Chain A
């Protein structure tokens, strides 16, 4: 491109070099320096020609690359401070003058930030699990994996047998420490006061390495004796409970759990932090559990009962993959043959300690405090979306109000303000609003934490605020939200041309309309996604909790059978006569005993089941529990074929096959033609010979997350879970009667009761928490979006006051004016709806994929959410539209 520049010499210095100069030269020196350079250039050009002069020019420019040229004018500092003061003063005045807009911005932003802070704390807590251990990065949990036939070996559980740890420790030098853990719930008493008994649910048996690996510092006592045979350690709370103010160290306590044993207390540890996946009040020596009845007689050399968790601490330099290979080798040496016989291929992986909590799909042998990475991920997204909606409000309202401030911008520019100064000024506006919002949000968070903890069963606390990182995040949030909310409006406002704005009408203003509309669409799309999500989550919850289980768990009261039985008393007989006595109490219709309850885990998970005649490689995986003869009737199990346990006499002969009742699902899995063909068939269940005596219709023992399993019921009359079907209007009296009977039958035990439907429902507490938090945040997000819409609508109706006046003078009705004003917003909501539907469908389908029993997403949900959003939008806007429509046109038209 070339152009004729008549007023300039043809020889001109290269523009790009001038630009280089502009980059480094301080503004206050630029005029002088550039002048010098240009004058010198022209002198040279006259003397030696333009092209040579240009070559010199570069050298000339760089001859100015000196520190004093680059240094910005420092003497202006006081002036700058004064300007900043002025910016904030103006910002403050704007805040005070436009109370509605400022209010909407501040309230919106502070709610958004509050949501973010609550979610941030929740996420920080979930991510902090097990990070307090000194050797955190070297500790792993052992995951044995199984696969059958050609299937991939899957690592889905952390259940290991007792003999695994010693074998590993002996053969793999990379292992510094190794410990097995096993949970129990026990009855405890001070050996000096055996009459005072306590129940303790959180008991952990562990090997002596346990305290070397994990960081649970002792408050008192001797760590060298910790977890040696016959020793116990207590948490501070437990020590206070059992021994009062006395020093517990050296005292003896009697514990009845899986084994009955006296332990000497050798230490007290401060309580286990909330963010530990291992939760326990008492630590007992693993040795005592293994030597007690049960595990001491475990078949197959202690390799068959997978009831233990195994944790290892590797040498810091150890290679994880290599160690896993070595561990697999050790496992196969010991178990290869036996597993092959059962049709399994097997392997070992180790799971880093920090990955345990958020990987709930890998279940453990303990009552771990499990989280969900999916939940954390969902909430992070919701937090950001809420924040985004609040930021959009600010951007929309600021750009919409630009017209009001255009004159101010014009005057400032005429006086000599530069664009950067105006940008800084508008960023100051944003900073002030954001700062106020942030402070309010802090207060709101502190105030809300107890409520959120209460409704959502979380462990949030303001203790985190003492951490310097928190304040760093605070400052970063202030900076980021100021820039995000302020930058765009600042550039829009500062780019107005003074001549245009001061002349009067500013028409270029409409060019940002599309952006503002786009942002409103985005806000409403996000809101509709959240509404849809809430509805679907609650629908799924209702569906899960209300679905037909095939088990009648209503009005079933459950009590725990005795742990402590006096010497010489047979458990089966004692339980039977106790149940008989209970049946005599009016209001108790039926009574039964079992080894587990609906909503709890089965007793035997991962049993390998096949027809006795089948190849072991084709065995299926199933679960089993043991029930008495009254159980099926009490829970309303429907017999499809064969007999129930109540209809047969169970042979006590050594070689008699084990009579079992299986569910319909197992009948199908085993390829029987129908329930009746399965009767009397022989099965091999985990090496035991079993005979099918009956088939029950499928029932749901566990939550809707779990698909139908292959269930085996075995007969037993020693179950410790007693179920009582009650039909009484006076429950407390009945419970009192049960309690006194219990104490009479089983002294030195603790009476506990519950309801099976509640126990069952407890499986959904994570889902319920998720639903509540989701609903809460969705509601807040929608509220913020409405605030923004309200602000925008009030602005628009003000903007169009004259137009409305003219329309009314020309005969427009109130209704038509309201319609005119509303239609713009309704269009945006509808576009938002179109955007939201596929997004919501995709996200919620992902969420539902987690459930084996799930609802399908119907169109009704979307319609509902869309109509709700539309309704909310119309409600928000209409008040203002009506107000604008019924105003007297004289008021709006008489000026000017």
Chain B
């Protein structure tokens, strides 16, 4: 049975894949996520999320060329599928419609740069 829901981390990973395409692979994604958040993101966690996304059909992968920093090993490169793209659009629409319904005074003020 294929699951179709999308977890929070999965969503972030999926978005990062889209952002990094055509050079989206686990290490790059993990590094990227680590740079954009203050916590450590392990490669294993990203790899597992990618694996789940692939099982759900939101990404597809192919083996890339070997590189020297990988000790001559190949890497698996991911791209977003049509289903993945649709899912991201849906999520975005849901979020945006929700944002639209928020009145400015409903949210407390935050002070961040």
Contacts and interface: CB of A to CB of B under 8 A. Distances in A.
A60 B75 contact: no
Interface string B32-59: 0000000010111101100100000000
Interface string A511-552: 000000000000000000000000000000000000000000
A66 B48 contact: yes
A32 B76 contact: yes
A39 B45 contact: no
Interface string A51-81: 0000010011011111011000000000000
Interface string B10-47: 00000000000000011100110000000010111101
Interface stretch (B66-74, B83-91, B93-101, B105-113): B66-74
A35 interface: yes
B31 A40 contact: yes
Contact of A38 (B26, B42, B63, B69): B69
Nearest to B67: A39
Contacts of B48: 66, 68
A274 interface: no
B69 A37 contact: no
Given A31-B73, A32-B73, A32-B76, A39 B27 contact: yes
Contacts of A63: 42-45
A64 B48 CA distance: 8
A43 interface: yes
Given A68-B48, A68-B51, A36 B42 contact: no
A32 B75 contact: yes
A807 interface: no
Given A64-B44, A64-B47, A43 B27 contact: yes
Interface centre among A35, A38, A56, A60 (most CB of B within 10 A): A35
Contacts of A59: 40, 42
Contacts of A617: none
B18 to A, nearest CB: 20
Contacts of A33: 47
A92 B53 CA distance: 47
Interface residues of B, number: 23
A231 B98 CA distance: 101
B44 A39 contact: no
Nearest to A56: B40
Interface string A21-36: 0000000000111111
Interface string A834-877: 00000000000000000000000000000000000000000000
A663 to B, nearest CB: 92
Contacts of B76: 32
Nearest to B66: A35
B31 A35 contact: no
A801 interface: no
A705 interface: no
B71 A38 contact: yes
A326 interface: no
A522 B51 CA distance: 57
A64 B47 CA distance: 8
Given A43-B31, A68-B48, A68-B51, A36 B74 contact: no
Nearest to A7: B68
B73 A34 contact: yes
Highest count of chain A CB atoms <10 Å: which of B30, B70, B74, B75: B70
Interface string A697-737: 00000000000000000000000000000000000000000
B64 to A, nearest CB: 10
A555 interface: no
B46 to A, nearest CB: 9
Given A59-B42, A68-B48, A36 B31 contact: no
Contacts of B70: 35-36, 38-39
A39 B75 CA distance: 10
Contacts of A69: 44, 47
Nearest to B28: A39
Nearest to A12: B71
Contacts of B26: 36
A237 B29 CA distance: 88
A36 B75 contact: yes
Interface string A737-753: 00000000000000000
A60 B42 CA distance: 6
A127 interface: no
Given A32-B76, A64-B47, A40 B30 contact: yes
Given A40-B31, A43-B31, A68-B48, A35 B73 contact: yes
- Sorted nearest first, the 3 A-B pairs with minimum C-beta distance are A63-B44, A35-B73, A63-B42
21 contacts: A31-B74, A35-B66, A36-B25, A36-B26, A36-B43, A36-B70, A36-B75, A38-B70, A39-B69, A40-B27, A40-B43, A42-B69, A43-B69, A59-B40, A62-B44, A63-B42, A63-B44, A65-B44, A66-B44, A68-B48, A69-B47
